[in-house]
Amino acid sequence: AQTVTQSQPEMSVQEAETVTLSCTYDTSESDYYLFWYKQPPSRQMILVIRQEAYKQQNATENRFSVNFQKAAKSFSLKISDSQLGDAAMYFCAYMWEYGNKLVFGAGTILRVKS
C-alpha cells in the first residue's frame, strides 16, 4: 500500500528566511504524481506545487520549489523568502497512475515569526 510520511509535526521559520519541509513515501509504482497542499486556518486546501515522477527536473512555483529524489522516495518542499501568509499546515500527497486518489501525509504545521 502507498504511504506518505511527514516526520516534522511542526516547523518554525523567521520571516524572509528559507525553510524546508520533509516528505517520504513508499510505493511500488513507477509512475505517479506528488503534491504539496497548503491548509491555512480557513481550512481551504490549496495546491502549492506538483511533481511528475517521470520528470527529472524539480518543480518550481515562485518562492516554492521541491527536491525530488526518486530513488530515495523523498519529496521535500523549500519555501524561500518566507512570508507571514505562508503560515499554515502543509500536506504532502501522492497520486498513482490512473488511481485518481490522493494519499496524504499527516501534515506539518509551519509557523512564521516576524
On whether the CB atoms of residues 86 and 110 are closer than 8 A, the answer is yes
Distance from C-alpha of 16 to C-alpha of 80, rounded to nearest angstrom: 7
Report which residue type is found at 37: Y
Q: Is 64 in the site for other proteins (CB under 8 A)?
A: no
Q: Is 9 in the site for other proteins (CB under 8 A)?
A: no
Least Å distance between CB 18 and other proteins? 26
Least Å distance between CB 39 and other proteins? 9
Mark 75-104 with x for binding to other proteins (rule: CB under 8 A) and - for no binding: ----------------x---x-xx-xxxxx
Distance from C-alpha of 43 to C-alpha of 89, rounded to nearest angstrom: 9
